[in-house]
Structure 1
Amino acid sequence: MEPIRVIMLPGSVLPAGPAYGGLLEVLGPGVDAVAKDLELYAGDAPPPGWSLDTEADGVLREADRRGWNTFHLVGYSGGGAAALALTAFHPERLRSLALLEPAWAGNWDWSPAHARLWQRYGELASLPEDEFMPAFMRLQVKPDAVLPPPPPGPPPPWMARRPAGVSAFLTAFNTYDLDRARLAAFTKPVLFVLGGMSSPDEQGDNADRLSRVFPDYRLEVFPDRHHFDPPHRKEPQRVAALLLKHWARAETDP
């Protein structure tokens, strides 16, 4: 029996290795999974003309390199937004989609609170660099959520590229045209994993709107988790069980 083939995209902060290392360890031998770094960070600065399509094209190149005609796709945060873009334009390549709190899910049917939140994201550009990331993180969680402290010691070298990368994502979200009708035509299983301590104005809104788009959609909530304390890193065994069930159903679908 062939292994389940999976590509996983990280968010705009952690590289793919530390983002998915714990989850990869518990998925088991029946899963051939690759945690793929974002094209956004291939160099010292975002590539010219970078967009969500750049990330989607990078995923397809990775799949082609491995000889995978079809595969399962998992995306967290910014990687989740890129996964939605790929789903809209290349649904034939995907066997299923798993969204781990996508940072953005299209520009339609926003609630007033969601629209106000994105106004606040736009204000981040005026902040000094040392204030940008803390403010960016705080917007994505409930007021009483506890954010993780910075790791001890000097920041890793890759961290210096993150403010520019986050800004590139925010710009893309304001300009990218994610086709709702094409997403609605995707009939394969979609799993949305949500942290209960993440901002309801963002992730709650995303989850609710996508539930009205995808025909085969399931929401799984982890009440004590949030965007920077995410289930796939903090509860990898439970997330692995969810994903294995999700993939198994997709594999047996005609």
Structure 2
Amino acid sequence: MATPLHPVFARTVRGSGPGLLLAHGAGGGIEANYGPIMEGLAARHTVVGVDYPGAGATPRTEGPLDLDELADQLVAAADAEGLDTFAVSGYSLGGPVAIRLAARHPERVRSLVLSATFAHADTRTDLVASVWQQLFEGGRHAELAAYLNLMTLSEPALNALTPAQVRAAADQLAAALPAGTGDQVDLVRRADVRGDLAGIAVPALVVVTAADPLVSPSLQRELAAALPAAEVAELPSGHLPFLERPQDWLALIDDFLARH
């Protein structure tokens, strides 16, 4: 039987309090990207996230992923949990998802937190993503995992590991790559929300991962500069703040949400 074009997205719900929606990154998932800080977020918020097609328990779609669909599915999850308004946290690919959500549903969004993210893929990001996509779709998952270690960890974090530890981490990652990785990375290459930015008036925090080899800090700062009500926080981390600096990342998000 064919997979439905629009599957039911698997939903994560934790905590109580004001609503906080989570949008995850490509090749990740709610647990993979937010698990290390979930308890802290849920201590003060009703946290709701959905896994994109091919991540977590959400089946793959037949066609290419669409930013509007991902944003609307996240709002539908908020509706199902009785949340009228909410903050939205977008990590990596989740940033364009969060921005599109705010553009499509401005009356629902109180604030945005955008981490390690971009408004569009520049030439460098597209090149990185194209290698990622080719290795995954070619079944070269061990090589892809080694490539992702190189392209996601900051130089200090990578150099703190021995070559044997890096190989072990790559083996673990290769076995855990979500089935929808290729589809999600394809959306990284196509996503462009630059036209949405000027119309977003809610407070926004842009967390720049300042040692990020995957999404360059300059591209992250470019996003912040185009948002009318953005403040910037620099985090000395590679592309995986939940791995390298989880408590610092949580503290930045908590402090911002407490003020907005």
TM-score tier (shorter): 0.7 to 0.9
Equivalent residues of 2:126, 2:189 under 8 A apart: no
Any conservation in 2 of the 1:72–1:94 contact (CA below 8 Å)? yes
Match of 2:120 among 92, 106, 120: 106
Q: Distance in 1 between matches of 2:148 and 2:243?
A: 20
220, 238, 244: which one aligns with 2:233: 220
Whether the 8 Å contact between 1:45 and 1:161 is mirrored in structure 2 is: no
1:170 is the counterpart of 2:185? yes
Checking the alignment, whether the CA contact within 8 Å between 1:16 and 1:35 is kept in structure 2 is: yes
Q: Aligned pair count?
A: 235
Q: Deviations over 1:92-115 (max 9, x none)?
A: 22111111212x4225xxxxxx42
Alignment equivalent of 2:257, drawn from 227, 242, 247: 247
* Structure 2 match to 1:208: 221
Partner amino acid for 1:118? D
Residue 102 of structure 2: SS of its match in structure 1? helix
Aligned equivalent of 2:166, options 149, 158, 164: 149
The CA deviation at 1:226 is 0.8
Counterparts in 2 of 1:27 and 1:145: CA distance versus 1, 3 Å: closer
Q: In 2 relative to 1, CA 9–60 (structure 1 residues): closer, same or farther, beyond 3 Å?
A: same
Q: Cα gap change, 1:149/1:7 in structure 2, threshold over 3 Å: closer, same or farther?
A: farther
Q: Which runs of 5+ in 2 are unaligned?
A: 1-15
For residue 193 of structure 1, the aligned residue among 207, 210, 224 is 207
Kindly indicate whether residue 92 of structure 2 is the aligned counterpart of residue 77 of structure 1: yes
Aligned to 2:6: none
| Alignment map for 1:121-132 (pairs within 5 Å) | 121-127=129-135, 128=138, 129-130=140-141, 131-132=143-144
Note the 1:34-49 alignment, pairs <5 A.
Answer: 34-41=48-55, 42-49=57-64
Unaligned runs of 5+ in 1: 108-113
Structure 1 pair 169–205 and aligned structure 2 pair: CA distance change class (3 A): farther
Aligned residue number for residue 16 of structure 1: 30
Q: Give the structure-1-normalised TM-score.
A: 0.76
Give the Cα separation in 1 of the matches to 2:155 and 2:40.
Answer: 32
Confirm or deny: 8 A CA contact 2:149 2:170 kept in the other structure. no
TM, length-normalised to structure 2: 0.74
Paired residue secondary structure (1:161): coil
Which residue of structure 1 lines up, in the alignment, with residue 105 of structure 2?
90
**Once superposed, what is the RMSD of the aligned Cα atoms?**
3.2
Residue 123 to residue 17, structure 1, CA distance change in 2 (3 Å): closer
Amino acid at match of 1:10: H
- Alpha-carbon shift at residue 173 of structure 1 (Å): 3.4
